[in-house]
């Protein structure tokens, strides 16, 4: 029996491999591997796609977030409010610049930051908020920007899982002060390796970002401040430029797949399906359901039992994320206690991400649904 993987990048390569090969070969033949026109072409195309004035490409989504904080002079003694239910990089970079992440709880429906709690967490030391458009679903940016404006805070959007997502017809990454993107291979727009970008309307900030990603360099071997080495390779830029042309089609496929899951799974008891919001457009980096815990004291979460039953039927599902960041050993020094952010903790016990990639077939989805029905029905 064929396994159904959580994502499958080889299917995509079968479709556009010839184009990717041609673009990569052109870069290899050019002899220009770092910087240059290929990178600038991608930056222009990506800025235009997002609807932001500037795009600064860099080496990863993590570096995009790090450079964003550096460019806004956020560091020691500053607090940055963010979600504990995200990939570690979101908080890691706050710590990396010497600032303190302040975790607030999430909403069960969207898995995104609970904005009422964001407002309550603002202190004299708060400098910025990092919302994460988790699994491709946009945060309510109207409400978040109003809160940020009232308190004069920066908003750095973590768009790593949401390239192409929209809030009220504006692409995420064009709404906050800065938008940070990851081109990790399994993201909606993925390179063949690491890559990232920062978008902004502020040309002064983008100029600083361009320096910071290249050791703080201003001119040849002249440095007013220190930066990092975080450039996007020309090879990746060429590949991303090809793939950007397909992103809308792939995101539409993801939306159709999510809709089909919604129909197939709604009759199954004890499943919470992802909610959609008509003000936003999710691009479904993940299709994440919740399986309610019947016995909170049980040694093994019911979700984990279902996951291994799915695996027996050849369906590989994933758990993003099994332990909320506020309870990670790496953040023990912040002093959070179990029970303090109850929704993030509940969700980390209950979530299960089903196979989701643009080439997933209806037949594969039916097998996923059948396996879940057998497990729960």
Ligand X SMILES: *Cc1c(COP(=O)(O)O)cnc(C)c1O
Lay out the site mask for ligand X across 185-204 (x = CB under 6 A, - = otherwise).
---------x-x--------
Q: Output the smallest distance, CB 60 to ligand X, in A.
A: 3
> Which residue's Cβ has the minimum distance to ligand X?
61
Spatial distance between the Cα atoms of 291 and 189, rounded to a whole number of angstroms: 29
Q: Output the smallest distance, CB 85 to ligand X, in A.
A: 10
**CB neighbours of 219 closer than 8 A, spacing ≥ 6?**
none
Specify the stretch interacting with ligand X by CB under 6 A; choose among 83-91, 145-153, 264-272, 300-308.
Answer: 83-91
87 binds ligand X (CB under 6 A): yes
Nearest to 78 by CA among 105, 62, 98: 98
Alpha helix ranges (H) inside 189-290: 203-212, 234-244, 247-265
Q: Output the smallest distance, CB 229 to ligand X, in A.
A: 15
Q: Which of 60, 199, 286, 364 binds ligand X (CB under 6 A)?
A: 60
> Computed from CA positions of residues 367, 368, 369, 373, in that sequence, does the dihedral angle turn out positive or negative?
positive
In degrees and rounded to multiples of 5, residue 295 shows phi and psi of -130, 100
Q: Which of 47, 99, 121, 160 binds ligand X (CB under 6 A)?
A: 160
Question: Which residue, 196 or 358, has its beta carbon nearer to ligand X?
Answer: 196
Q: Which of 62, 163, 286, 353 binds ligand X (CB under 6 A)?
A: 62
Centre a 10 Å sphere on the Cβ of residue 13 and count the other Cβ atoms it contains: 13
Give bridge partners of residue 102 from the DSSP assignment. Answer: 81
Nearest to 43 by CA among 198, 262, 186: 198
Specify the stretch interacting with ligand X by CB under 6 A; choose among 12-20, 86-94, 289-297, 298-306.
Answer: 86-94
Q: How many residues lie near ligand X (CB under 6 A)?
A: 15
Spatial distance between the Cα atoms of 56 and 47, rounded to a whole number of angstroms: 9
Binding stretches for ligand X (CB under 6 A): 60-62, 86-87, 89-90, 132, 158, 160-161, 182, 184, 194, 196
């Amino acid at each position: 029996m064929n396994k159904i993987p959580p994502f499958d990048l080889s299917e995509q390569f079968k479709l556009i491999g010839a184009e990717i090969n041609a673009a990569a070969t052109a870069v290899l033949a050019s002899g220009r591997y770092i910087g240059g026109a290929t990178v600038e072409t991608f930056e222009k195309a990506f800025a235009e796609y997002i609807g932001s004035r500037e795009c600064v490409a860099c080496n990863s989504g993590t570096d995009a977030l790090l450079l964003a904080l550096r460019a806004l002079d956020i560091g020691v003694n500053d607090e940055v409010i963010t979600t504990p239910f995200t990939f570690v990089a979101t908080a890691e970079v706050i710590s990396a610049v010497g600032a303190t992440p302040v975790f607030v709880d999430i909403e069960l429906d969207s898995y995104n930051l609970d904005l009422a709690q964001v407002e309550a967490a603002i202190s004299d030391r708060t400098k910025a908020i990092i919302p994460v458009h988790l699994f491709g679903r946009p945060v309510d940016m109207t409400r978040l920007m109003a809160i940020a404006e009232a308190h004069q805070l920066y908003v750095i959007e973590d768009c790593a899982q949401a390239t192409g997502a929209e809030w009220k017809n504006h692409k995420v990454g064009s709404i906050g002060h800065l938008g940070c993107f990851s081109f990790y291979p399994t993201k909606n727009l993925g390179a063949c390796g690491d890559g990232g970008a920062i978008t902004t309307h502020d040309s002064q900030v983008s100029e600083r970002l361009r320096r910071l990603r290249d050791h703080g360099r201003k001119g040849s071997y002249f440095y007013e401040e220190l930066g990092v080495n975080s450039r996007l390779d020309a090879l990746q830029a060429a590949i991303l430029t090809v793939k950007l042309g397909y992103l809308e089609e792939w995101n539409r496929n993801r939306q159709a797949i999510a809709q089909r899951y919604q129909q197939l799974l709604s009759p199954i008891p004890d499943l919470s399906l992802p909610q959609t919001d008509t003000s936003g457009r999710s691009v479904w980096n993940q299709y994440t359901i919740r399986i309610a815990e019947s016995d909170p004291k049980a040694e093994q979460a019911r979700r984990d039992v279902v996951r291994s039953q799915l695996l027996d039927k050849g369906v590989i599902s994933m758990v993003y994320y099994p332990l909320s960041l506020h309870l990670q050993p790496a953040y023990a020094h912040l002093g959070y206690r179990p029970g303090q952010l109850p929704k993030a903790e509940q969700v980390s016990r209950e979530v299960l991400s089903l196979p989701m990639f643009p080439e997933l077939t209806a037949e594969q989805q039916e097998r996923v649904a059948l396996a879940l029905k057998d497990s729960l029905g």
